[in-house]
Amino acid sequence: MNSSIYQPFKNFDFKYKNCFLSGDTLKTPITEINVLPDWLLALANFSGQEQIKLLDESVRSYNTLKVPVNTEILEQFVDPLEAKIATAFQGGYAAVSKLEEIDLFKWVGKFMYSLIYIEMNAAIKLQQLSSDGVNMSQGLMHKFGNLHTMIQSIYLNVDFEDFEPWSIVVVPLADQDHYFSFRDEINTMTFSLKLKDFGIIMCLQDNGTNKRFHKEILDQIAGKALLEQQFEELCARFFYSAYLFNRLPEYTILPVEGTIYISPMPLKGASSKPLFDNWQHKTYAQVLENFWKRWGHTLFEIIKDPLAPMSYFNPPALPPAY
């Protein structure tokens, strides 16, 4: 198997001419696939006309969000991954909780990178981003490029050497028939999803640090079905801590005899600074207000006690604030 690494951020290859995963155009034809696959729309009882706002403030319907893919890679690798995830999602928490984390990572990573691809294409078209990316944050390019290298594990042999680049949490939900919804924050590589009787939270490039940061609350809720408000509160905690995470993970990436080996550089590096900036309840409460918007909780209500923000968990098990 070819183990060469396609690096689209080297020449900003987001023009819908090459496969978004492999960059290949020669072996087999290129087709376009939906970012939100048909099986997911059907499971969510969506028509595809539902809308999403992109970073450039444009509004697109789900069924117009597409990326180019090599038909051979689609048939041999992408479709089988989609089938595996679709079967698990149909089975609810009992099935999703048994998925290997690497498969969830590949699927969510592909979803997130597809949205990044679309955002990059739109930014270049609107001349908000030069064709060589010179006016894009080098840190973001670095993270996006690393994510793309990692999701090439969909069709290449990739070995994460004695580490996992992600934090993944799968929880059962008390309500057995949740509507489908998702959130993504591409700057921090954070994602959440809820459907049927399960919720998923994922930080795609933190080497597991966010999951360790929230160990106390995760241990407390282990095996317990969460109320929807509790799940959204848990999401708010992860999205906020991902924002506080102040390292840019570095990796050694080495292709050898058909396999790409990826190993992490120490996150602490030469810095004595903690991995996370100080948790501030007031800022966290602002994040939480957005996640709880459906229930009408105001910021004043959430932070009425500045030392103990409102929580649906008992005890709240919040990180210490400074």
Q: In the chain, which residues have pLDDT < 50?
A: 1-2
Tens digits of per-residue pLDDT, 214-271? Answer: 999 999 999 999 999 999 999 999 999 999 999 999 999 999 888 999 999 999 876 7
pLDDT at residue 1 in the model = 44
Whole-number Å distance between alpha carbons of 5 and 154? 13
Bridge partners for 195 per DSSP: 198
CA torsion sign, 8 to 242 to 291 to 96? positive
pLDDT at residue 193 in the model = 97
pLDDT at residue 190 in the model = 98
pLDDT at residue 55 in the model = 81
Which of 13, 128, 136 minimizes the C-alpha distance to 67? 13
Whole-number Å distance between alpha carbons of 65 and 67? 7
E strand map for 111-240: 157-160, 167-172, 178-185, 190-196, 198-203
Please tell me the pTM assigned to this model. Answer: 0.94
Identity of the residue numbered 17: K
Sort 316 into a burial class: Cβ within 10 Å, 0-12 / 13-18 / 19+. Answer: middle
Tens digits of per-residue pLDDT, 279-296? Answer: 999 999 999 999 999 999
Q: State the residue for tokens 């479709």.
A: 79
Whole-number Å distance between alpha carbons of 225 and 100? 21
pLDDT at residue 78 in the model = 98
Cα angle 149, 152, 154 (rounded to 5 degrees) comes to: 150
